Amino acid sequence: MHMEHDVEVTWAAVGAWAADNALLEPLGFQRGFVRTEIAPWSARAMAADAQAPVNLTEYSRWLSVTDGLDVSRSFLQLPHPFSGAWVATHRQLERFISWQLSSSRSKEANKAEAAANTILFAGPLPNGFTSSAVVPFEWNNSWLSRRAHVHRVSNELCAYWDEGGAGPAYSNTRPPPGMEASKCTIQVDEYLVY
């Protein structure tokens, strides 16, 4: 398991990862996570890396998998997959190391942090996907499953913005007009739409 220093991953999230990953790994996918932060202005969980809602009627990077109990489970690749926390099986790590050693990208993945961030992008990737990382979601209510949430304790994105390099635009307040397409402006329960 890899996680950034300020990310909190619960045992429940790791257990859910194991169950999901068993379904996904044979298909070339790796179960990912959604990074959340708490908005100081509302105390609501925000999708920290989201820059725009995902419209499920137009989005094609998702799949449904049937588990051993004949229950269909849905997963989608986030537009900006979070690579700051992941878990991998022995087989997934072997695939990554093999890709790293044989790829021209291996030079950029020679540092531990860079390697950690590239594991979800190691080829070969499933057809039509730009990453192997997918997260569970529920079609009925268009929610990202809570078992995929990991919390960024530092709250760095939601507590501080930098507007166009001009210095801090605001701190601990609601995003100003024009910042709607910035990170940490979409509530995690409103990230997926129809």
pLDDT grade for 22, boundaries at 50, 70 and 90 = very high
Q: What length is written for the chain?
A: 194
Q: What share of the chain is helix, strand, coil (3-state, %, to 5)?
A: 30, 25, 45
Residue 44 pLDDT exceeds 70: yes
Confidence grade of residue 172 (pLDDT, cut at 50, 70, 90)? very low
Q: Are 12 and 141 in contact (CB under 8 A)?
A: no
How confident is the model over 86-95, as a mean pLDDT?
Answer: 85
**DSSP 8-state class, residue 90:** H
Any idea where the domains of the chain sit in the sequence? Answer: 2-193
Q: Which pLDDT belongs to residue 107?
A: 54
pTM recorded for the entire structure: 0.81
pLDDT over threshold 60, residue 6? yes
Task: Give the position of tokens 């449904």.
Answer: 64
Whole-number mean pLDDT of the chain?
A: 80
pLDDT at 175 over 80: no
For residue 153, name the pLDDT band (cuts at 50, 70, 90): confident
Q: Which two tokens stand for residue 83?
A: 């690579």
DSSP 118-167: HGGGPSSPPTT-S-SEEEEEETTTTEE-GGGEEEETT-HHHHEEESTTSS
